[in-house]
Amino acid sequence: MATDERRVKRELEEGIERDFTRKMSYGDYLRLDTLLSSQQPLSDPPQHDELLFIIQHQTSELWLKLLIHELRSARKLLGEDELAPALKRLARVKHIQHTLTDQWSVLATLTPSEYAEIRPFLATSSGFQSAQYREVEFLLGNKNADMVAVFSHDETARAELDALLHEPSLYDEFLAYLSRRGYAVPSHLLDRDWTQPYRLDQGLVDVFAAVYSEPHEHWGVYETCEELVDLEDNFQQWRFRHLQVVQRTIGQKTGTGGSSGVDFLRRALDLTFFPELYEVRTRVGG
């Protein structure tokens, strides 16, 4: 018996730290005291499933924070003609997107009856009011000045969104990069009103058609185009999964923030960030 016990017990190695009275611990570095005390359910009497709802959305906000960090970096790198590291950033963005989409499967375990027990305590709060989600949309080019006003109660969030509203998006920086590399990007796309959402331009479709006709001659640009398509495809999958979870949880009810709910989310599926990269597919091999 003693021999069996030794087999299953892993002794602490001599060099492993044990005293953190004066040294930084794992919990100190991650500020876990703050992080793990941030889940404050409001339901009264307490409802078991409210913790799931809170953690689902808090972790989503953490991933969105990293997503913004990576997109901002990719945009900056494109502006500096550093394509390779920009693509590395976008590769990470895609993994973050997959994680965000997969998370919906956890929230989908919340049944309509269970959600009905906690919904009254959400009051008028809604994911629609996520400033970080709007930052991601602005960084990708879906600009909407009306959204900035939603955050008038939060000066920091409002200022961040207003700044992004007036700055080039990731796609705008990619087009500027192409122009500097000698591609015939229409000039009006390089000096436009950045506060406006991007619109399809047939002249740019011609540019991408040339890239897709001879990908090996334009490999870096070709690869970037496909990375952007992957990014948008992932974003649409996230939107659709969101719609599905909402539909199975509240049906056709209005959202807590006052939107029409499922119908509002469904209309978002028609939005696109990089329209020419889809339009050019009609030309390929035609």
Band (252; pLDDT cuts 50, 70, 90) = confident
Residue 48 DSSP code: T
256 among annotated binding-site residues: yes
Percentage with pLDDT > 90 across the chain:
77
153 among annotated binding-site residues: no
- Write down the pLDDT at residue 270: 80
Distance CA 139, CA 134 (A): 8
282 among annotated binding-site residues: no
- Write down the pLDDT at residue 112: 94
202: pLDDT strictly greater than 70: yes
Q: Which residue has the tokens 């329209």?
A: 275
- Write down the pLDDT at residue 87: 98
Contact call for residues 85 and 77 (beta carbons, < 8 A): yes
55 among annotated binding-site residues: yes
119 among annotated binding-site residues: yes
175: pLDDT strictly greater than 80: yes
Report if pTM > 0.85.
Answer: yes
**Fold adopted by 47-250+261-283:** Methane Monooxygenase Hydroxylase; Chain G, domain 1 (1.20.58)
242 among annotated binding-site residues: yes
Cα 255 to Cα 136, 189, 258: the distances in Å are 22, 37, 5
274: pLDDT strictly greater than 80: yes
| Domain boundaries along the sequence of the chain | 47-250+261-283
68 among annotated binding-site residues: no
Residue 255 DSSP code: P
Instruction: Measure CA 28 to chain center.
Output: 28
Nearest-10 Cα torsion for 218, 271, 109, 34: 80
